[in-house]
Amino acid sequence: DVKVTQSSRYLVKRTGEKVFLECVQDMDHENMFWYRQDPGLGLRLIYFSYDVKMKEKGDIPEGYSVSREKKERFSLILESASTNQTSMYLCASSFLGDGELFFGEGSRLTVL
Amino acid sequence: QKEVEQNSGPLSVPEGAIASLNCTYSDRGSQSFFWYRQYSGKSPELIMFIYSNGDKEDGRFTAQLNKASQYVSLLIRDSQPSDSATYLCAVYQAGTALIFGKGTTLSVSS
């Protein structure tokens, strides 16, 4: 079974802090994605990556950056956390760009 | 801005009935279409995907695609209380990633 592991299920951070959300997949998938999910707004794409060291902006990249130094790991970085970044963050991977997404369990971030 | 639209619901059906979930998308270049199910507090999981116009059946689930009308639907036959969840429609266009609708909440009463 594909396993996508997000390092933290729950985080509480202060405004202005730098936040790292880590995601690791164990199926040698080329493609990895970061979404955030908010009530009434659904799943929104932040960034995605089709290869190591490659990244593409999604629909809401402002305030975020990503890093993909190794194929299995895709990190989401909040350089200076703000309260409007309080959300559920979901990492996903896929073998094909248009294929099935496998999601991690999510990281619920609260910024105070 | 590519858009995927779904009625938020809730859609309420009695046990054993057919649940019909609908989705429209704005980009005619969209190539593949997915339905995900998300239980409360859980991550989305894939139910079905469809690439070609017409129907695709898998057990109690049928996905329907009409590219001319830019319309995708999911039918759930013999609905069960365990089908109560939020159903997410997702659309893929080459060069991007899956774009999700906001989801439709389905409630199946016993």
Measured between beta carbons, the chain B residues lying within 8 angstroms of A100 are 34, 46, 49
Whole-number pLDDT of residue A45: 94
A55-80 pLDDT, tens per residue?
999 999 999 999 999 999 999 999 99
Whole-number pLDDT of residue B5: 95
pLDDT at B1 > cutoff 70:
no
Strand partners of residue A88 = A37, A108
Whole-number pLDDT of residue B96: 78
Q: What is the rounded CA–CA span in Å between residue B22 and residue A102? A: 23
Instruction: Give the number of other Cβ atoms within 10 Å of residue A30's Cβ.
Output: 16
CB contact under 8 A, A41 and B102: yes
Residue A89 phi/psi, 5-degree rounding, is -110, 130
Q: What is the mean pLDDT of chain A?
A: 94
State whether residue A43 sits within 8 Å of chain B by CB. yes
Instruction: Give the number of other Cβ atoms within 10 Å of residue B65's Cβ.
Output: 19
State whether residue A58 sits within 8 Å of chain B by CB. yes
* B46: nearest CB among A41, A42, A100: A100
Whole-number pLDDT of residue A96: 78
Whole-number pLDDT of residue B93: 76
For B88, half-sphere exposure in the C-beta direction (CA atoms, 13 angstrom radius) is 23
Whole-number pLDDT of residue A63: 97
Position B15 confidence tier, pLDDT thresholds 50, 70, 90: very high
Q: Which residue has the higher pLDDT, A98 or B56?
A: B56
Q: How far is B45 from chain A (nearest CA, A)?
A: 7
Q: What is the rounded CA–CA span in Å between residue A79 and residue A99? A: 31
Report CA Rg, chain A.
13
Measured between beta carbons, the chain A residues lying within 8 angstroms of B36 are 101
CB contact under 8 A, A100 and B34: yes
B33-92 pLDDT, tens per residue?
999 999 999 999 999 999 999 999 999 999 999 999 999 999 999 999 999 999 999 999
